[in-house]
Amino acid sequence: MQGTVKETEATKFNALAGEWWNPRGPMAPLHAMNGARTRWVLERLPQGKPLQLLDIGCGAGLAAEAFAKAGLAVTGMDAAPDVIDVARRHAAEHGVAVDYVHGGPEDLAPDARFDVVTALEVIEHVADKPLFLASLRALLPEGGQLFLSTLNRTRKSLIVAKYGAEYVLRLLPIGTHDWNEFVTPAELSGLLRRAGFTVEEVSGLGPRFPGGEWRAGGSTDVNYLLACRAI
């Protein structure tokens, strides 16, 4: 049975492993949005209890390290082996405790469970979206929280996130995104409900002005965040 990992996508991001922690390199957009998206997640977690968090599609650890620094017990998982190697080295060099694992969610032990799962800028890159979400549901107890961030499939996102970011501004390598794989909030909400989640909140995510600090809130026309809970 085909899993959730799209090997062409894993290979593409594996080639960028050495640039992941360069804030002015091809991962600059992730660096720019990371503070806003991780704060949004942390603000919605229960306080005063130890939480086990899985960051699936973690890349070299931008969000995973932020969550670990906030006091969560973090497992980071990614399908690109060289990227995971970079994540492990960076965490060790900076004294951040993250357990990094190579693979997709279906590769975890059948009894693996987490209080929280994050999949940030991931779902547009997986091989099978329903299977991916079902795999995440299997990792959460009833009431467990799932947070996603992704790109909306709109004309504006085609202009801004695809043509603008890749071809005009050259913020991303050409071919980073496939606009046809973007998913609207309504489509993603439907997929989540069928996978056993209830959607609690959807929020836009974007810069205050071109080149400015990113914040959660506002329009969902390009980037958005979604919070849901396992039922």
Q: Which of the residue ranges 52-56, 64-68, 95-99, 206-210 would you say has the lowest mean pLDDT?
A: 206-210
175 vs 19, residue with greater confidence: 19
Work out whether the CA dihedral 54, 56, 96, 63 comes out positive or negative: negative
Known binding residue 99? Answer is no
Residue 40 · residue 225 · CB < 8 Å: yes
Q: Which of the residue ranges 1-15, 75-89, 135-149 would you say has the lowest mean pLDDT?
A: 1-15
Known binding residue 37? Answer is yes
Q: For all residues of the chain together, what is the average pLDDT?
A: 93
SS3 128: coil
Residue 74 · residue 99 · CB < 8 Å: yes
Answer whether residue 211 shows pLDDT above 70. Answer: no
Answer whether residue 55 shows pLDDT above 50. Answer: yes
Give backbone dihedrals phi and psi of 198, rounded to 5 degrees, phi first.
Answer: -115, 130
| β-sheet bridge partners, residue 31 | none
Q: Which residues contact 143 (CB under 8 A, 6 or more apart)?
A: 229, 230
For 142, which DSSP code?
A: T
Known binding residue 45? Answer is no
The CATH superfamily holding the domain 7-230 is Vaccinia Virus protein VP39 (3.40.50.150)
Answer whether residue 135 shows pLDDT above 60. Answer: yes
Two structure tokens written together for 163: 């043509």
Instruction: Name the E strands within 8-136.
Output: 52-56, 73-78, 98-102, 116-120
Residue-wise pLDDT tens digits, 30-42: 999 999 999 999 9
Residue-wise pLDDT tens digits, 183-207: 999 999 999 999 999 999 999 999 9
Q: Which of the residue ranges 24-38, 62-76, 151-165 would you say has the lowest mean pLDDT?
A: 151-165
Instruction: Name the E strands within 116-192.
Output: 116-120, 145-151
Q: What is the mean pLDDT of residues 83-92?
A: 98
227 vs 6: CA distance, rounded Å: 24
pTM of structure: 0.93
Two structure tokens written together for 47: 């306080």
Known binding residue 218? Answer is no
